[in-house]
C-alpha cells in the first residue's frame, strides 16, 4: 500500500509518500510559508529536487499541489491518486484520549479538537491538514498518530505534578510527554539491533534536536519522559528553556515589567542555548563560537550536556537499571562530543564508548566497546516510517 504521511504545522506541511511493503520513500518534500506567499519543495526518490514559488493561501491548496506533484506525468511517482491507499497524519496532542494511533472518524476529530487547548499552536494546524485531505481525497482512510500516545503508559507517580489534584481531574494538568513516535521507533530499533527482548529491555532514549526530550522505556513502555503538559519542560533546547523554577517567572516578570504572555514567549523562543549563548539555537554555530573562544557559548553547551546527564541518571534509577542508551535527532545523531560527554558520566555503571566507533554522523551504529556493560547507540529517528506503519496497520 502507498501511504501519504503528512506533518502539518501552522504555516508548513511536510510530506512523504511511502511504499509500506518495501518501506521505501517514493517522494518527499515540504510546503512552506502557507498563508504568506508559498514555497514548494518536491524530491522524487529517483529524480531531481524541485523548488518552486507557488502561491499557497491555505493548507488545502498545499495538499492539492502535493497531489499534483505526486501524479505529475513527468516528475510524479504514481499514475493516479487511486494508488494512495491511506493518509497518516502526525497529531501533536492526544491528551488522555489517545494511547495509540487511531483511524480518523468524526468522533475522533471531535476528540482531537477537545485537545486543542493543550496544544494551541499545533493541534489546530493538524486538524486543518486532516480536513484538507478529507476534501481532496474523499473516502481514503486517514489515521492520526499522536506525539503523546506512547507516553500514556507512564504511571501516575511519573505523570502527576505536585499541584492540587483537582487541576488534574478538572483540566487535565499532568505530564503528557512528546516525541513519542520517535522514542517508540528508536527504542524498538535499539532492541532489534542488540537482539534484546523489547518486552524486557530497559532503554533510555535521548532525542536531542532543536526540541529535545529523554524517555525511559521499560519493557517496551514509556515510564518517564522529560517534556510535560507542553513541550517546554525538561532539557535545555534550541530556543526553549526546559526546566525552570516557576518562581523565577514571577521574579523576571517583575524585573522586566512583563506579563505572562511575554514570559512564555521568552521561555519558548528566546531561551535555551540561543538565549544562554547569545549566539544561536544551532549547535553548529555554538561549536564555531566555542572554537573562537566564546565562553558564554561554552557555558550554554556545558549546561545542555549537564541537564541531559541528570535526566538520564534519574531515569536509570527510576527503571532500576539500564541495558542501552540511544541517541537520536539532529544533535544526538551528529554530535560525537555530546554523546561522549554524556556517556562519560555513566562510566560508574560500566558504560564505555569507543571513540572511533563514536566518530560518525547520522548513521545507525553501536558506539560502545564490545565489553561495555551498558550498550550505547546512535539510531537515526524515522517518525515518518512509524506513522506509515501505524497507518497501514489501521487502514488495512
Ligand atoms: P532536529 O530538530 O532533530 O532537526 O535537530 C536540529 C538541530 O541539530 C540543529 O539545530 C543543530 O543544533 C543540530 N545539528 C545538526 N547537524 C549537526 C552537526 N553536524 N553537529 C552538531 N549539531 C548538529
Confidence grade of residue 146 (pLDDT, cut at 50, 70, 90): very high
pLDDT in tens, 294-318: 999 999 999 999 999 999 999 999 9
| Distance, CA of 264 to CA of 17 (rounded, Å) | 36
Q: Estimate to the nearest angstrom the gap between the alpha carbon of 33 and the chain centroid.
A: 21
- Residue in 366, 360, 353 with CA at minimum distance from that of residue 326: 366
Q: Please give the distance, rounded to the nearest whole angstrom, from the Cα atom of residue 379 to the centre of ligand 1.
A: 14
- Residue in 81, 100, 223 with CA at minimum distance from that of residue 154: 223
Q: Please give the distance, rounded to the nearest whole angstrom, from the Cα atom of residue 308 to the centre of ligand 1.
A: 16
**How much is the pLDDT for 69?**
97
Q: Any residues with CB less than 8 A from the CB of 92 and at least 6 apart, and which? A: 119, 122, 123, 126, 146, 147, 148, 178
Decide if 378 contacts 327 (C-beta within 8 A). Answer: yes
Alpha carbon nearest to ligand 1 atom 18, residue: 334
Q: Identify which of 334, 337, 363 to mutate to test ligand 1's pocket (most ligand atoms within 8 A of the CB).
A: 334
- Tell me, yes or no, if 199 is annotated catalytic: no
- Give the pLDDT mean for 326-345: 98
In the chain, the percentage of residues whose pLDDT exceeds 90 is: 97
Q: Please give the distance, rounded to the nearest whole angstrom, from the Cα atom of residue 9 to the centre of ligand 1.
A: 20
| Mean pLDDT, the chain, integer | 97
pLDDT in tens, 5-31: 999 988 999 999 999 999 999 999 999
Q: Which atom of ligand 1 is nearest to the CA of 210?
A: 2
DSSP letter (8 states) at residue 225: E
Decide if 30 contacts 42 (C-beta within 8 A). Answer: no
Q: Is the pLDDT of residue 121 over 90?
A: no
Alpha carbon nearest to ligand 1 atom 23, residue: 331
Q: Identify which of 279, 283, 290 to mutate to test ligand 1's pocket (most ligand atoms within 8 A of the CB).
A: 283
**How much is the pLDDT for 9?**
87
- Give the pLDDT mean for 43-56: 96
Q: Is the pLDDT of residue 130 over 90?
A: yes
**How much is the pLDDT for 240?**
96
- Give the pLDDT mean for 230-249: 97
Q: Please give the distance, rounded to the nearest whole angstrom, from the Cα atom of residue 190 to the centre of ligand 1.
A: 21
- Residue in 241, 191, 195 with CA at minimum distance from that of residue 221: 191
| Distance, CA of 145 to CA of 88 (rounded, Å) | 7
Residues near ligand 1 with C-beta < 6 Å? 209-210, 238, 281-284, 329-331, 334-335, 361
**How much is the pLDDT for 342?**
98
Residue with cell 553501536: 366
Q: Identify which of 30, 186, 206, 331 to mutate to test ligand 1's pocket (most ligand atoms within 8 A of the CB).
A: 331
| Distance, CA of 167 to CA of 218 (rounded, Å) | 28
- Residue in 271, 334, 273 with CA at minimum distance from that of residue 303: 273
pLDDT in tens, 51-63: 999 999 999 999 9
Residue with cell 573562537: 292
Higher pLDDT, 120 or 225: 225
Q: Any residues with CB less than 8 A from the CB of 131 and at least 6 apart, and which? A: 60
| Distance, CA of 156 to CA of 296 (rounded, Å) | 39
Q: Please give the distance, rounded to the nearest whole angstrom, from the Cα atom of residue 330 to the centre of ligand 1.
A: 4
Q: Is the pLDDT of residue 285 over 90?
A: yes
- Residue in 246, 217, 243 with CA at minimum distance from that of residue 231: 243
Helices (H) and strands (E) in the chain, counts: 15, 14
pLDDT in tens, 70-109: 999 999 999 999 999 999 999 999 999 999 999 999 999 9
Confidence grade of residue 120 (pLDDT, cut at 50, 70, 90): confident
Question: Which of the residues 68, 147, 245, 282 is marked catalytic?
Answer: 147
| Distance, CA of 193 to CA of 196 (rounded, Å) | 8
- Residue in 78, 19, 82, 75 with CA at minimum distance from that of residue 47: 75
Q: Please give the distance, rounded to the nearest whole angstrom, from the Cα atom of residue 21 to the centre of ligand 1.
A: 31
pLDDT in tens, 211-222: 999 999 999 999
Q: Is the pLDDT of residue 286 over 90?
A: yes
Q: Any residues with CB less than 8 A from the CB of 202 and at least 6 apart, and which? A: 216, 217, 218, 219, 316, 319, 320, 321, 322, 323, 324
Q: Which atom of ligand 1 is nearest to the CA of 329?
A: 3
Strand order of the β-sheet with 324-328 is 221-225, 212-218, 202-208, 324-328, 375-378, 365-366
Q: Which atom of ligand 1 is nearest to the CA of 287?
A: 21
Determine phi and psi for 332, rounding to 5 degrees: -60, -35
User: Could you give the C-alpha distances from 94 to 28, 161, 258, 342, in angstroms and in order?
Assistant: 26, 19, 31, 32
Alpha carbon nearest to ligand 1 atom 6, residue: 330
Q: Report the alpha-carbon angle 88-390-72, nearest 5.
A: 35
Residue with cell 541518571: 313
**How much is the pLDDT for 105?**
97
In the chain, the percentage of residues whose pLDDT exceeds 70 is: 100
Amino acid at each position: 500500500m502507498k501511504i501519504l504521511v503528512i506533518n502539518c504545522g501552522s504555516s508548513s506541511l511536510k510530506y512523504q509518500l511511502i511504499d509500506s511493503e518495501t518501506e521505501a520513500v517514493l517522494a518527499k518534500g515540504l510546503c512552506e510559508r502557507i498563508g504568506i506567499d508559498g514555497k514548494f519543495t518536491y524530491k522524487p526518490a529517483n529524480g531531481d529536487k524541485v523548488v518552486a514559488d507557488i502561491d499557497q493561501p491555505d493548507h488545502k491548496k498545499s495538499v492539492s499541489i502535493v497531489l499534483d506533484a505526486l501524479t505529475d506525468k513527468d516528475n510524479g511517482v504514481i499514475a493516479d491518486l487511486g494508488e494512495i491507499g491511506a493518509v497518516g497524519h502526525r497529531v501533536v496532542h492526544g491528551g488522555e484520549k489517545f494511547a495509540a494511533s487511531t483511524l480518523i472518524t468524526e468522533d475522533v476529530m471531535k476528540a482531537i479538537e477537545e485537545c486543542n487547548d493543550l496544544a494551541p499552536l499545533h493541534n489546530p494546524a493538524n486538524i486543518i491538514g486532516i480536513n484538507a485531505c478529507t476534501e481532496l481525497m474523499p473516502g481514503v482512510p486517514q489515521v492520526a498518530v499522536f506525539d503523546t500516545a506512547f507516553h500514556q503508559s507512564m504511571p501516575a507517580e511519573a505523570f502527576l505534578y505536585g499541584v492540587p489534584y483537582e487541576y488534574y481531574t478538572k483540566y487535565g494538568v499532568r505530564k503528557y510527554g512528546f516525541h513519542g513516535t520517535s522514542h517508540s521507533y528508536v527504542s524498538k530499533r535499539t532492541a532489534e539491533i542488540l537482539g534484546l527482548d523489547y518486552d524486557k529491555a530497559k532503554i533510555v532514549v535521548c532525542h536531542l534536536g532543536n526540541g529535545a526530550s529523554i524517555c525511559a522505556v521499560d519493557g517496551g513502555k514509556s515510564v518517564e519522559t522529560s517534556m510535560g503538559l507542553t513541550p517546554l519542560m525538561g532539557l535545555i533546547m534550541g530556543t526553549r528553556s526546559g526546566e525552570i523554577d516557576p518562581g523565577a517567572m514571577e521574579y523576571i516578570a517583575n524585573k522586566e515589567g512583563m506579563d505572562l504572555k511575554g514570559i512564555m514567549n521568552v521561555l519558548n523562543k528566546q531561551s535555551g542555548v540561543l538565549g544562554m549563548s547569545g549566539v544561536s539555537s544551532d549547535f553548529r554555530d555554538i561549536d564555531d563560537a566555542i572554537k573562537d573562544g566564546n565562553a558564554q557559548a561554552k557555558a550554554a553547551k556545558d549546561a545542555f550536556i549537564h541537564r541531559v546527564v541528570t535526566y538520564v541518571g534519574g531515569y536509570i534509577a527510576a527503571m532500576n537499571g539500564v541495558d542501552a542508551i540511544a541517541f537520536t535527532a539532529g544533535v544526538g545523531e551528529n554530535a560525537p562530543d555530546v554523546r561522549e560527554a554524556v556517556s562519560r558520566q555513566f562510566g560508574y555503571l560500566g558504560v564505555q564508548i569507543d571513540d572511533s566507533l563514536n566518530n560518525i554522523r547520522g548513521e545507525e551504529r553501536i558506539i560502545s566497546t564490545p565489553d561495555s556493560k551498558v550498550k550505547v547507540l546512535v539510531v537515526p529517528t524515522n517518525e515518518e516510517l512509524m506513522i506509515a506503519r501505524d497507518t497501514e496497520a489501521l487502514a488495512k
